[in-house]
Structure 1
Amino acid sequence: MKTAHDLVIAAKSRIQEIPLADAEQAIREADVLLDVREAEEYAAGHLPGAIHASRGMLEFKLSNSPELSSRDLKIVLYCKTSGRAALAACALHDMGYLNVKSISGGFDAWAGAGKPIAKPVLPTFE
């Protein structure tokens, strides 16, 4: 029986995972930056410019978004540490997307390196 860890290792052998040092350049060159974490994770802070599409709904969101339907889109995606992103990258490859990259270490590595994080600004009522 395979574990989640086994599935992630297998996925990482099939995808293009980029080191954190190359992430900013890849993001600049990308058409889409996807955060595949859960909604509450995204709301707590995300990479600037990222679009949220949780891992569980990713295939459905892409299938129902005409602006994301081109299989030639350059996509960079990430999750908390890179496991869900690896699985998501495999799913996108299986859907026919040709240019998918995953950020090694994910959001935790990005934040740990002191890179910019976007957070929603809530209104004040003072």
Structure 2
Amino acid sequence: MKTAHDLVVAAKSRVQEIPVQDAEQAIREADVLVDVREADEYAAGHLPGAVHISRGLLEFKFSGAPALQARDLKVVLYCKTSGRAALCAGALHDMGYLNVQSIAGGFDAWAAAGKPVAKPEAPSFD
């Protein structure tokens, strides 16, 4: 029986992971940057310009949104440490997407490298 770790290792063997030092260039060249973490993780801080599509809804959102249906769309994915993003990249490849990358090390590696993080501001009631 395969474990979650086995599935991530298999996914990483067939998807393109980009090192965090190359991520900014890949993001500039991408059509869409997708954060596949859960909503609370995204709300706590995310890469600037990222849209949130949690892993559980990814295939449905890509299938249902006309702006995401072109199979030559350039997609960059990330999660917390890169496991979920690799699984998502594999799923998108299975759906026929041709230009999918995930960020090695995910959000944690991005933040540790001192890269910018967008955080929503709490409303002011002054």
Q: Aligning the two structures, in what range does the TM-score lie when normalised by the shorter sequence?
A: over 0.9
Give the TM-score of the pair, scaled to structure 1.
Answer: 0.99
Q: Which runs of 4+ in 1 moved over 3 A?
A: none
Q: What stretches of structure 1 of length at least 5 have no aligned partner?
A: none
Q: Deviations over 1:30-52 (max 9, x none)?
A: 00000000000000000000000
What secondary structure, in the 3-state scheme, does the structure 1 residue paired with 2:2 have? coil
1:77, 1:87 → 2: CA distance? 10
Specify the code of the residue in structure 2 equivalent to 1:119: K
The CA distance in 1 between the partners of 2:21 and 2:122, in whole Å, is: 32
Per-residue CA distance 1:37-78 (angstroms, 9 max, x = gap): 000000000000000000011001111100111011000000
Structure 2 counterpart of 1:20: 20
Distance (whole Å) between structure 1 residues aligned to residue 106 and residue 31 of structure 2? 18
Shift of 1:123: 1.6
Distance 1:110 1:95 in 2: 27
State the Cα RMSD in Å: 0.5
Residue by residue over 1:66-105, the C-alpha shift from the partner in whole angstroms, topping out at 9 and shown as x without a partner, is 0111011000000000000000000000011000000000
Q: C-alpha distance in 2, partners of 1:66/1:120?
A: 27
Gaps of 5+ in 2: none
What residue is the counterpart of 1:66 in the other structure?
66
* Fraction of identical pairs, as percent: 79
Correspondence 1:1-126 to 2 at 5 A? 1-126=1-126
